[in-house]
Amino acid sequence: MSATPNTRDTTWRDTTLTETRWLRYTLTAVALAFLALFLILPLVVVFTEALRVGLAPYFSAITEPDAVAALKLSLLVVAMAVPLNLVFGLFAAWAIAKFRFPGRSFLTSLIDLPFSVSPVIAGLVYVLLFGAHGWFGTWFADRDIQVIFALPGLVLATIFVTFPFVARELIPLMEQQGTDEELAARTLGASGMQMFWRVTLPNIKWALLYGSLLCSARALGEFGAVSVVSGHIRGETNTMPLQVEILYSEYSIQAAFAVASLLALSALLTLALKALLEWRFARELAHH
């Protein structure tokens, strides 16, 4: 019984090392060329154009009042949208992975809805709902609450386009873990909160951080949905992607690339943190 797997393994290794070596090299070269052309080259262009006229104009562009306001607004939207998505994603993943109920598959499909709906359509939906002539616009206007062309609209649009990220990271992991540890904790007399803080949360903490990181990166770079609901008010409702668009349309090319470089830096930081979390999560799985 043991000879057959070893023979198969040897044959497979020999095949991959000799007959298909050219294919591996070709696929690797194609993948690297694709990454260089569509990912690395654009990043190089962004930083090259941002610094083309020197450091002084670069720092002047990113410290200009409208750029600073756009940065602060982007970070504020992220700070509001991500925790809400974290709570939603955690509750949704817990319900889907730990329980069986009517409509479970439908809920799972709804979580994926933002992946298939254009962000522009999502923004238009919020305008129809909360705009001056929308379904709920009059009610909010009577109470002097502005949703569209204000911070609440930006947060709502960002939540819509980013809410699958946390849930989609947690659902497969929680389904794989099952309910044995929670049931054991319940048998030992743990309360619901004790079970969550001491059993469930430690088991999903890295996936939760990973999903929150992806959610933050997506929220920071969102353009389509927030463009529709923002009104493009400089210094008030323009996030960083919208500020880049305005600067570029005004032919302030260097300033546009300077602000874009901040988004590129955030993407690189996200990549580094993503790699760190994957490494840390892999180590923890290996220890278990």
Greater model confidence, 275 or 1: 275
Q: Which pLDDT band, with edges at 50, 70 and 90, does 103 fall under?
A: confident
Q: Which structure tokens are listed for 155?
A: 């947060």
- Model confidence pLDDT, tens digit, residues 204-230: 888 888 899 989 999 999 999 999 999
Once rounded to an integer, what is the mean pLDDT over residues 53-80?
94
| pLDDT band per the 50, 70, 90 thresholds, residue 237 | very high
Distances (CA, A) of 218 to 77, 78, 212, 254: 11, 9, 10, 24
Pick the range with the lowest mean pLDDT from 3-12, 44-53, 185-194. 3-12
Q: Is 231 left (phi over 0), alpha (psi -120 to 50) or beta?
A: left
pLDDT of residue 273: 87
Classify the phi-psi angles of 234: left when phi > 0, otherwise alpha if psi is within -120 to 50, otherwise beta. beta
Share of the chain above pLDDT 70, in %: 91
Provide the b/e sequence for 41-66 (b: ≥16 CB within 10 Å). Answer: eeeeebbebbeeeeeeebeebbebeb
The confidence score (pLDDT) of residue 72 equals 95
Q: What is the pTM of this model?
A: 0.83
Q: pLDDT at position 283, please?
A: 67
**pLDDT value, residue 265:** 92
Report the alpha-carbon distance of residue 93 to residue 166 in Å, rounded. 9
Note the pLDDT tens digit of each residue in 105-130. Answer: 888 888 988 988 899 999 999 999 99
Q: Is the pLDDT of residue 281 over 90?
A: no
pLDDT per position as a tens digit, 247-263: 999 999 999 999 999 99
- Per-residue pLDDT at 288: 55
Q: Are 252 and 245 in contact (CB under 8 A)?
A: no
* pLDDT, tens digit (0-9, with 9 covering 90-100), for 26-36: 888 999 999 88
| pLDDT band, residue 156 (cuts 50/70/90) | very high
Q: Please say if the pLDDT value at position 179 is more than 90.
A: no
Residue among 75, 54, 94 nearest 208 (CA): 94
